[in-house]
Amino acid sequence: MKSLIKSDTKGRKKVLEPCLEPCPIERGMRLLGAKWKASILWHLKDQPVRFNDLARMIGGASKKMVDQRLKELEAQKMVKRTVLSERPIAVVYQATDFGKSALSVLEPLLKWTEKHHL
């Protein structure tokens, strides 16, 4: 809902109909806005990827951070974790259908970033 802002006689501004809960943009950013989440989903868009390979793909992120973000994405049902072997532990991650649906948001962001040389 659009907030209406009015000024009183002294020039002070007041919001007439404030949002009392997060708007859809804010809710979406809570899912994808944390650093590295979108990058992780982007790298999982085509095929399952093993943890160490994924950590290497995401330059600048520590393995601890990749692991933390993967756990968050898994809890949000955007990523699925599959254990391939117990000893030595081998794990593969893949984007779920819900996670892949976020690509429709990420692809325009990629194009916009490239267009403006950001």
Tell me which residues of the chain have a pLDDT lower than 50: none
Q: Does residue 81 sit within a domain?
A: yes
CATH classification at residue 39: 1.10.10.10
Domain enclosing residue 71, as ranges = 32-115
Q: Does residue 8 sit within a domain?
A: no
For the chain, what is the mean pLDDT?
91
Number of domains, the chain:
1
Q: Does residue 10 sit within a domain?
A: no
Q: Does residue 110 sit within a domain?
A: yes
Q: Does residue 79 sit within a domain?
A: yes
pTM to 2 decimals? 0.80
Q: Does residue 108 sit within a domain?
A: yes
Q: Does residue 65 sit within a domain?
A: yes
Structure tokens at 31: 């899912």
Which pLDDT tens digit goes with each residue over 9-18? 888 988 887 7
What is the DSSP annotation of 36-62?
THHHHHHHTSSS-EEHHHHHHHSTT--
Which pLDDT tens digit goes with each residue over 17-30? 777 888 888 888 88
